[in-house]
Amino acid sequence: MRQRDRLRILNHMVQRFQAHFDASFAALADATRRGVLDQLARGDASITDLADRFGMTLTGMKKHVGVLESAGLVSTEKIGRVRTCRIGPCRLEEEMAWIARYRQRWDARFEALDGVIDELKRQEKARGRTKRT
């Protein structure tokens, strides 16, 4: 395989991964959708059940479930006239890992800043002492 093809495949994979992240974070950016996930984590439910529970129209709830389904956070199955929703297959594993990595860098950065401030304070103190003597 040529280098260019390899790069193209890698780029395609990165883009798919990014698109998955875009979809899952966008799906989480709504209180009703977070509520639906909370509800489904307790047990499967039909779209009618969910619409009732969240005081929404069936059409409105179908839209929210559609967004969650596109992000892989919910899967649905139609048996007869009832469409049952359950959580998954996406377990928000990578999303949590991304935030965790970001927070580690956050902490590391601010620890480094604290170190610089401590060093400046130490120098300031030493200078004060030199002045006094």
Minimal distance, residue 125 CB to a copy of itself, in Å: 27
| 106 vs 126, beta carbon nearer a copy of itself | 106
| 105 vs 132, beta carbon nearer a copy of itself | 105
Q: Are 95 and 25 in contact (CB under 8 A)?
A: yes
Whole-angstrom distance, CA of residue 113 vs CA of residue 98: 23
Q: Which two tokens stand for residue 92?
A: 């928000």
Q: Which residues of 15-24 are buried (b: 16+ CB within 10 A; e: fewer)?
A: eeeeeeeebb
Please report which helix (H) or strand (E) contains residue 77, including its range: strand 74-79
HSE toward the beta carbon, residue 112, CA cutoff 13 A: 6
- Total chain residues near a copy of itself (CB under 8 A): 31
| 49 vs 95, beta carbon nearer a copy of itself | 95
Using rule CB under 8 A, residue 54 touches a copy of itself: no
Q: What single-letter DSSP state applies at residue 94?
A: H
CB atoms within 10 A of CB 64: 21
Minimal distance, residue 57 CB to a copy of itself, in Å: 20
- Interacting positions 3-42 with a copy of itself (CB under 8 A): 18, 21-23, 25-26, 28-31, 34, 37-38, 41-42
Using rule CB under 8 A, residue 56 touches a copy of itself: no
Residues that bind a copy of itself in the complex, under the rule CB under 8 A: 18, 21-23, 25-26, 28-31, 34, 37-38, 41-43, 87-88, 91-93, 95-96, 98-100, 102-103, 105-106, 109
